[in-house]
Amino acid sequence: MSPRVHPSAMAMGSRRWRQTVGRGALRAFTLLPDGEAVYREWRRLIVAHAVSGVQVYDARLVAVMKVHDVTHLLTLNDRDVARYAEITVVHPSQVVV
């Protein structure tokens, strides 16, 4: 199975994304669709966790993950999603190549 990613995860740092994985590498990912189910889950997370400010973007990513049954998130910023117990955060230093 190829890695799955929501388009907004790429759009937020598009230049950094291209520098990190390259244009051709995008074919290795399955893009996850957005929709009403993601919006409903996002709103639920915002209310349940009292999310505000820029952390709403992390809640949106978690909503996409939950709707599409993605359980692990590779990130340098593990503190931002620590409040979501259902998501397993993986720091790049934990990845064995």
Blockwise average pLDDT, block size 10, the chain, 97 residues: 54 55 66 92 96 94 94 87 91 82
Helices vs strands, H then E, count in the chain: 4, 4
Report the number of distinct structural domains present in the chain.
1
Cα-to-chain-centroid distance, residue 51: 16
pLDDT of residue 23: 58
Would you tell me how many other CB atoms lie within 10 Å of the CB of residue 5? Answer: 19
- 49-80 burial, b for 16+ CB within 10 Å, e for fewer? eebeeeeeebbbbbbbbbbeebeebebeeeeb
Let me know: does 31 contact 7? Beta carbons within 8 Å: yes
- Strand ranges inside the chain, DSSP E: 4-5, 30-31, 72-74, 88-90
The whole domain housing 81 covers 4-94
pLDDT of residue 26: 64
